[in-house]
Chains A and B, each alone.
Chain A
């Protein structure tokens, strides 16, 4: 290695996979160059990266400079410029840009695809990736500007794959694995994610929004892709009819033949499964009962929290009238504090060609593009302009499910046409009854 890294070396100890060991492994691979490649970016970039990181471990400050606008022709996103602030010491990472590669929904891969991507990145990049970035893309870490078009050309021509989103645009949408291997999926999360990604390619590649916008698709209220916490537009699977009960299977859980909670608690002795304490009493709306023989659910009072189904997945199954709820405005703290998604649409059938969802999305975008301030996420606009405004632009009637509780102040806006006679009044007429 080019540099001594006594601090980083201490991160090679311990059982958890060591990133430092992995980067060293890549550095050794590049030094050995077993395939005789004519590396298109510095061969020792991984060694320089470790040197730079060691310096940050000493200085306790980052050594990456602010931004830099680079990209591929015609796109405003997908590439993030990155330059180190000690290029003389670490020339191999002087220019070290990030490329976001759009991932397949659910992240199922063939090794053929992955190997092809590795080959491109071996030749034209650092050999380092994120599998995956927080939003869901495959992230390729570290290449130079001249390689960007070449990588994009190979990705599109040889792999039939596009870049992901970055900047003030639609970010790469993400879905849970849904129907591909989960019995809780209330709709085809992967298909709607794929289809909307295709339909909104322009919004994804060419920034025209006030700030980022994220779609995430969770197949059920368990929320494995965190749609309600992380996406401006969250689609979360649900159903409208009854939970399906297999009474024999319920008895098998009670009798100890089936392991509760799909075995998730098997590492500790929690005692014998107690359906009353573990399921019936934990139901948030107390809509279940067990008489020793039969499990009964008052479905009208069920809020579909998933606890009973999660606990007895062989006995209880999601209903058949399936679709999703839509929640809007979730985001991380920047700028005005973290927000959770707020329920807008209680139930929508999520079926091709997804026109119903797209109409909601496009109404929201029209409003947000018009009214949103620079770097104002949808959630912040909702707070500034009101939830009522969101209802209005999406042609949604207010209903009690939209709130946890009604407002506790009487500072109520009425629309002029809600008040007889409107807001224009005759002062003279008023004064005829009231002296000044």
Chain B
């Protein structure tokens, strides 16, 4: 490989340097019909799953075809998206906040042809490249993190569990037959880069063993006070230990206080926490971000731990499927998963889904925990 210079001169890094310019202006790549009707939209309708129509005050109509893609996406796939956009939508395409791809056209005929085209594209091994759907009262593309593919703190993988969960729920991506939208998100650790804490179904990687302490490296690799300060449970303290005949500065962890959040590892690489048997996935349900009818709310943990079962996580997929099916069969129209669970009561949520309630599901983190205990004689036998 011969190094190819871009024009950058490392001897003079400031020469001709361009910085602090930010992104492209948002309207610099608008399709003309979007630019024309900006701020003047009147109403919309989902004509069929994955196909939306938006009508402007001008009378203009645009048709949007929405499809999923892999969020972790190769440039070969991005170039294929470009080829499709060049062919059908004059070289314009957009992504949604949930990693869906949207193609916008003024012709219904084009939109329908595009929909068929997208649905026909398969990877060599058979999975869909760009399945159309993800609209209305269905399941949209999950938001997720990097997992074992590219993250240093995960307790589970991301693209793998998302793939197997969505294989199981694919019909709900392709249809609009649930009581309300169900948003699924996955974060591979409690850092929650994927912010799953307000999802209808949030899958979150958790550890179950306190970190190990690498006394040889702790003082060399870490600012020990930062690791101490990082612990929300005050379980981490500085200490001196005898290591290979020498007194060294290191760290001690009160194991019965640790809830394995991994914050200390984030600050100090000499505290590895990942563990084959300890790690897995918790399932949180009933969160939402919309203000529709009820306040936004956090997801609640309903399954404390499911082991990592790569490559296809059968316990996870079966459990998520059971939750979705029970919700679909019992909730009222427009009722989000959390609103349904609150209406029937969480007691009945466990009864109907058949999930087992365990002591792990009772909150014990700080003051808010108390407010979740039942301060009433009103309950069901």
Q: Is the CB of A229 within 8 A of B5?
A: no
Chain B 72-84, CB-CB to A under 8 Å as 1, else 0, gives 1111111101100
Tell whether A4 is near chain B: CB-to-CB under 8 Å: no
Q: Bound complex: CA of A60 vs CA of B147, how far in Å?
A: 11
Q: Is the CB of A104 within 8 A of B23?
A: yes
Q: Is the CB of B25 within 8 A of A267?
A: no
Closest-CB distance, A434 to chain B (whole angstroms):
38
Chain B minimum-CB-distance residue to A15: B170
- Supposing A129-B73, A263-B45 touch, asked if A335 and B197 sit within 8 A by C-beta, the answer is no
Q: Is the CB of B41 within 8 A of A182?
A: yes
Q: Bound complex: CA of A102 vs CA of B28, how far in Å?
A: 14
Chain B minimum-CB-distance residue to A224: B97
Closest-CB distance, B103 to chain A (whole angstroms):
11
Closest-CB distance, A255 to chain B (whole angstroms):
16
Q: Is the CB of A111 within 8 A of B166?
A: no
Tell whether A198 is near chain B: CB-to-CB under 8 Å: yes
- Supposing A16-B128, A18-B70, A59-B276 touch, asked if A160 and B21 sit within 8 A by C-beta, the answer is yes
Tell whether A157 is near chain B: CB-to-CB under 8 Å: yes
Chain A 354-375, CB-CB to B under 8 Å as 1, else 0, gives 0000000000000000000111
Residue from A19, A26, A132, A374 with most neighbouring chain B CB atoms (10 Å): A19
Q: Which residues of A contact B18 (CB under 8 A)?
A: 156-157
Chain B minimum-CB-distance residue to A206: B20
B334 interface neighbour in A38, A228, A278, A337, Cβ under 8 Å: A278
Q: Is the CB of B23 within 8 A of A102?
A: yes
Chain A 216-233, CB-CB to B under 8 Å as 1, else 0, gives 000001111111111000
- Which of A6-14, A291-299, A388-396, A413-421 lies at the interface with chain B? A6-14
Interface size counted on chain A using CB atoms at 8 A: 153
- Supposing A25-B76, A334-B190 touch, asked if A61 and B276 sit within 8 A by C-beta, the answer is yes
Q: Is the CB of A194 within 8 A of B95?
A: no
Tell whether A146 is near chain B: CB-to-CB under 8 Å: yes
Q: Which residues of B contact A239 (CB under 8 A)?
A: none
Interface size counted on chain B using CB atoms at 8 A: 148
Q: Is the CB of B294 within 8 A of A284?
A: yes
Q: Which residues of A contact B99 (CB under 8 A)?
A: 131-132
Q: Which residues of B contact A377 (CB under 8 A)?
A: none
- Which of B133-141, B237-245, B247-255, B354-362 lies at the interface with chain A? B133-141
Using a CB-CB cutoff of 8 Å, which residues 71-109 of chain B contact chain A? 71-79, 81-82, 85-86, 91-97, 99, 101, 104
Q: Is the CB of A118 within 8 A of B177?
A: no
Q: Which residues of B contact A172 (CB under 8 A)?
A: 23
Tell whether B274 is near chain A: CB-to-CB under 8 Å: yes
Q: Which residues of B contact A280 (CB under 8 A)?
A: none
Tell whether A114 is near chain B: CB-to-CB under 8 Å: yes
Q: Is the CB of B4 within 8 A of A123?
A: yes
Residue from B86, B93, B95, B178 with most neighbouring chain A CB atoms (10 Å): B95
Q: Which residues of A contact B73 (CB under 8 A)?
A: 22, 128-131
Chain A minimum-CB-distance residue to B68: A17
Closest-CB distance, B128 to chain A (whole angstroms):
5
- Supposing A25-B76, A38-B1, A265-B333 touch, asked if A64 and B21 sit within 8 A by C-beta, the answer is no
Q: Which residues of A contact B289 (CB under 8 A)?
A: 223, 226-230
Q: Is the CB of A16 within 8 A of B68?
A: yes
Q: Is the CB of A229 within 8 A of B197?
A: yes
Q: Bound complex: CA of A374 vs CA of B3, how far in Å?
A: 40
Tell whether B236 is near chain A: CB-to-CB under 8 Å: no
Q: Is the CB of B190 within 8 A of A62?
A: no
Q: Is the CB of B94 within 8 A of A15?
A: no
Q: Is the CB of A14 within 8 A of B192?
A: no
Chain B minimum-CB-distance residue to A152: B8
Tell whether A110 is near chain B: CB-to-CB under 8 Å: yes
Tell whether B283 is near chain A: CB-to-CB under 8 Å: no
- Which of A183-191, A345-353, A422-430 lies at the interface with chain B? A183-191
Tell whether B338 is near chain A: CB-to-CB under 8 Å: no
Q: Which residues of A contact B198 (CB under 8 A)?
A: 226, 229-230, 338, 340
Q: Which residues of B contact A282 (CB under 8 A)?
A: 293, 334
Q: Bound complex: CA of A375 vs CA of B191, how far in Å?
A: 12
Chain A minimum-CB-distance residue to B309: A60
Q: Is the CB of A338 within 8 A of B128?
A: no
Q: Is the CB of B7 within 8 A of A153?
A: yes
Chain B 9-28, CB-CB to A under 8 Å as 1, else 0, gives 01001101111111111111
Q: Bound complex: CA of A247 vs CA of B95, how far in Å?
A: 36
Q: Is the CB of B64 within 8 A of A181?
A: yes
Q: Is the CB of A17 within 8 A of B293?
A: no
Closest-CB distance, A12 to chain B (whole angstroms):
4
Q: Which residues of B contact A15 (CB under 8 A)?
A: 127-128, 131, 167, 170
Q: Is the CB of A10 within 8 A of B312?
A: yes
Q: Bound complex: CA of A59 vs CA of B197, how far in Å?
A: 28
A156 interface neighbour in B21, B92, B193, Cβ under 8 Å: B21
- Supposing A18-B123, A156-B21, A194-B22 touch, asked if A118 and B72 sit within 8 A by C-beta, the answer is no
Tell whether A261 is near chain B: CB-to-CB under 8 Å: yes
**17 examples of A-B residue contacts, CB within 8 angstroms:** A12-B123, A12-B127, A16-B128, A18-B125, A29-B74, A57-B157, A66-B152, A105-B23, A108-B34, A131-B78, A131-B99, A134-B143, A181-B41, A183-B44, A197-B22, A332-B190, A337-B366
Chain B residues packing against A (C-beta within 8 Å): 1-8, 10, 13-14, 16-31, 34, 38-39, 41-49, 54, 62, 64, 68-79, 81-82, 85-86, 91-97, 99, 101, 104, 123-131, 135-138, 143, 145-154, 157, 159-160, 162-164, 166-167, 170, 173, 175-178, 181, 187, 190-195, 197-198, 226, 229-230, 232, 261, 263, 265-266, 269, 274-276, 279, 287, 289-294, 296-298, 308, 310-312, 333-334, 365-366, 368
